[in-house]
Structure 1
Amino acid sequence: MARADLAALRAQQLALAARVIREDALPTAPRFIGGVDVSCSRFDPTQRVYAAIVVLEWPGLAVVDQAGVAAAPDLPYLTGFLGFREVPAAMEAFARLRVKPELLMVDGQGIAHPRRFGIASHLGVMLDLPAIGVGKSRLVGVPEAPLAEEAGSEARLRDRGEEVGALLRTRARANPLWISIGHRVSLPTALRWVRATGTGRRLPEPTRLAHEAAGMVRRAAGG
């Protein structure tokens, strides 16, 4: 595994982040939505990553295709630089799909990232597809107001004076999700699609199923 040149990675992230489109440039009603999850552990001695994409048909949310990849990345686990480690495996999984999604919902951050280029933005830019970041925990951002306990409550997130996403509580009293623009999707549209693909669970159905599929890839590879 190569030693990371952090200065070069930062420069590359900033250059790619400049290509992120923060406005809607996606079909009004995409027929196929892809959930993306990449599983890894900094404590795994093999340091492999396990990527899965599950494609759902809209509006029924039936699974029409899926693909998974176990890969040995070129970089070690580096907080803030996971896109370089995980996106190549996700792109390989995408290449294996027979049915290509028109919108990606990615387990991770979009522009809610120190350099505004989390994995959802990274994958969206590399594939030039609309992408939404659906994070399960905070990377950056402070809510503008307290988040109510009711399902459907939201609060916009700011980091260094910039709006970078929103907290969304999908189930009453459950931990919220951290929603952010990935690529070619505005924040209101990102929130609308996360709500529309919810089925009463904490996670929207695309990323929930992708999380399960990545776990299956990991178990099949002995990880």
Structure 2
Amino acid sequence: MINNDVLRRVRFALRINDGNAIDIFKLVDYDMDKDYLQSIMKKDEEAGFLPCRDKTLAMFLDGLVIQRRGKKEGALPNKLKAGEKLSNNDILRKLRIAMSYRDEDMIEILRYANFRIGKTELSALFRKADHRNYKDAGDQIVRNLLQGMVRKYRPEAAKDSTSKKTYSKLQSLPAENNKPTNKQAPRMHYSQKTEKQVAPNTPVNHDIWGKPKPKK
């Protein structure tokens, strides 16, 4: 899953238009150029597409943490150094902090995408890399978390979340709709949702690290 897709889906799920995105980058002392921002929001087959660098996505997610959780006094922006990569585990961790997700919240969000995971499997993704129970996160769990966020926060447009039409809708959103509020993303348990609100997909027969499940 490329960084452009992650940026695009996070922005859509949380109703973040260009102006708000630029403000988020400013929170980590980065002046994002609007033309460049629009280029990394394009799909790779579109004219003017530019790849979103790991450093750029990391700054956006760090800015999102500050916007939603506040900035620690005296803390400096922790930007990726040259050669450093942003892993899927890092993306999950930053989203978890920004959204104040507990284990139960992440499991619930993933259920919106018909993706099942246990607490033990989930906790392995947030261990330190040198921990014996640490596991690398695959593209699948990142993709399903973002899909679950779209289905929870934008159920009216979940099927169109990565299309060009959707991005044009995003640009027309008023700024006040982009502020993180409890009303915008009410907490509800999955068992309270109806089938109409969460359209089920066919379950995928592999685990979160992309390995096929053995046939019984």
**TM exceeds 0.5?**
no
Answer 1 or 2: which has greater strand percent: 1
TM-score norm. by structure 2 comes to: 0.24
